[in-house]
Chain A
């Protein structure tokens, strides 16, 4: 089965705070081109609650070397961590993506790595009672044969 993911960070900024935001008032909209669209081969969903200093593995259910998008929605404070190969295929990159937020304005740690070299990325909490919703997506370009094989 193939899936399609539409992601919309939709960060907007306006100098007209006294009235509700509308398109005519926006001075910035991010991303300017609108929705980000991806072909998805598989996905996982997890939710964990972690105290300060505790961590949890992020499951990737297929080859970790595949193109991934990992989205962590954080109420509290936490950092996504993993290692991946650089574009030379040799150098190891150590990636940490920290974020923090509250129920009113959650934080998002998002990465789109091309080749995760560790078996499991992890999410590490730096605040008690941090709740993390984790979504992972295995992505494919339009010419990826997996789009046919998995269909």
Chain B
């Protein structure tokens, strides 16, 4: 891919009353978070962004590829989901080695409810793993997205440049 790549994030959630199958079933949202405005879209070199998915067997682990040329001198943002019992381990020069358990579910009995893990820090490695079958591990699907956080205070980091930063040239 040539040229720049543009990364937008519209993180949002809605909490509705009752068991709702679809967001259209939410009659009266109790909490609604709509995050950043659509014009706040980052402009990145394509090498600064990676995403994908893979499956991990029970009692196995795998590292997640980082953007090309990324070093821990910069901040790496990441979002990871899984649909089973799993863990994510981040090794950071600042924070050391830290592991989080992730609980997601799949299937008709438990329902399809994916875990969510999101972070931003200096990173050496990111690894995900699945516990053994005896501990409830299973063939688990992971989806991930990692990108390098640019300097948010300069116009060149944004798709709309000075306009995104609020300056009229």
Residues of A within 8 A of B (CB): 1-17, 20-21, 27-28, 30-33, 35-40, 43, 45, 67, 69, 71, 73, 79, 84-88, 93-102, 104-115, 133, 135, 137, 139, 141-143, 147
Distance from A132 Cβ to chain B, minimum over Cβ atoms (Å): 13
Neighbouring A residues of B92 by C-beta, 8 Å = 98
Complex Cα spacing A141 to B49, Å: 33
- Determine which residue in A5, A17, A36, A40 has the highest number of CB atoms from chain B within 10 A of its CB, and name it: A17
Interface of A (DSSP majority class): strand
Are A97 and B137 in contact, CB atoms less than 8 angstroms apart? no
A-B pairs, top 10 by smallest CB distance, nearest first, are: A142-B111, A114-B103, A112-B115, A110-B118, A87-B131, A98-B121, A87-B135, A4-B20, A17-B6, A141-B110
Residue of B8, B25, B110 near A142 (CB, 8 A) is B110
| 17 A–B pairs (Cβ distance < 8 Å), ordered by A | A4-B16, A4-B26, A11-B145, A12-B7, A12-B9, A13-B8, A30-B79, A31-B79, A31-B143, A69-B116, A94-B99, A95-B101, A99-B118, A106-B35, A107-B120, A109-B119, A143-B109
| Given A104-B164, A141-B111, also A98-B120 (CB < 8 A) | yes
Task: Give B110's nearest chain A residue, CB to CB.
Answer: A141
Are A105 and B46 in contact, CB atoms less than 8 angstroms apart? no
Are A6 and B152 in contact, CB atoms less than 8 angstroms apart? no
Residue of A3, A9, A104, A114 near B79 (CB, 8 A) is A9
Distance from A35 Cβ to chain B, minimum over Cβ atoms (Å): 6
